[in-house]
Amino acid sequence: MGQDAIDLATLLAIVATVLSVSCTWPQLARIRRTSDVAGVSIAAAALTVSSEVGWTLYLAGEGLWSAVPEGALNIAANALLVGFVARCGGSPRRAIWAAVWWVAVLVGACWLGGREALAALLGIAYVVQLTPAVATAWRTWNPTGIATTTWTLRLGESAMWGVYGQVRGDPPLLVLGILGVAESTAILLRKALTRNRSPRQPVRRLPLTPSQLLDDAMVR
C-alpha cells in the first residue's frame, strides 16, 4: 500500500470519527426542544449502545486508538437518547433487553472466537441497530421527531467508513459503510416523502351502508 493510500485512509478515519461523534447530538437537541419523538426508535438507540461497545473493542484491537473516544462518546450520546425518548413516552423495557442481548452476543463472540468472530458480527451491526430506526420511520405517518441533520451526518459517516474499509481492505468497515448508507438514505427518503403531511394520520372511514345512511339522515 502506497503512502498516498495510507494518508487517505487516515484522513477518512478522522472525518468519519468526527461525523460519528456529531451525528446523535442534533437528535438529542431536537427532542429536548420539542419533546417530539414521532418516528424515533428507542430500540435503535439502545442497540447502538451495544454495537458501539463491540466496535470499541474491535477498533482498539486493530490499533485504531483514535476511534476509541468516539465509541465512548457515542455510547454516552445514545444512552442519553434512550432516556430522552423514554421520558417523552417511549417504552424502554424491550429496547434495553434487546441491547443487553446484543452486547452479550458481541462480547461472547470476541471471547470465544477472537477479533475474527467479532468482525463477522460487526459487519452486520448496522442491520441490527438501524433496522428498527428504518422500520419505525416508515411505520410512522409523519416522523416529525426525526432530526434530518442526524441522518445526513450518519450518511456521511457511513460513506467515510465504507471507503476506509475499501482502502484498508477491512471487510467489516466496508460492509458497515454500505449498510449505513442504505439505511440512512431510507430514513432521509421517508422524511422527504412525508414533509408535507399533517402531524397525525387522518381517520380512514369505511363507506356507509344504506341502513347507516338512513339512520344518519334521520338523526339530522
Those residues whose C-beta lies under 8 Å from the C-beta of residue 89, and which sit 6 or more positions away, are: 37
- Identity at 130, one-letter amino acid code: L
Q: Are residues 145 and 34 in contact, defined by beta-carbon separation less than 8 angstroms?
A: yes
> What pLDDT, on the 0 to 100 scale, is given for residue 4?
52
| Amino acid present at 66 | S
Residue 27 is predicted with a pLDDT of 96
**What integer pLDDT is reported at residue 147 of this predicted model?**
96
Any idea how long the chain is? 220
Question: Is residue 91 within a helix (H) or strand (E), and if so which, with residue range?
Answer: none
Q: What is the pLDDT of residue 216?
A: 46
Q: What is the pLDDT of residues 112-149, one digit of tens each?
A: 888 788 878 877 887 888 899 999 999 999 999 999 99
DSSP H helices in the chain: 3-34, 42-61, 68-87, 92-122, 125-139, 148-168, 171-193, 210-219
pLDDT on residue 171: 83
* SS3 state at 130: helix
pLDDT of 176: 84
Mark the ranges of the chain whose per-residue pLDDT is less than 50.
1, 201-206, 208, 212-220
What is the C-alpha separation between 197 and 179, in angstroms, rounded?
28
39/127 Cα distance (integer angstroms): 18
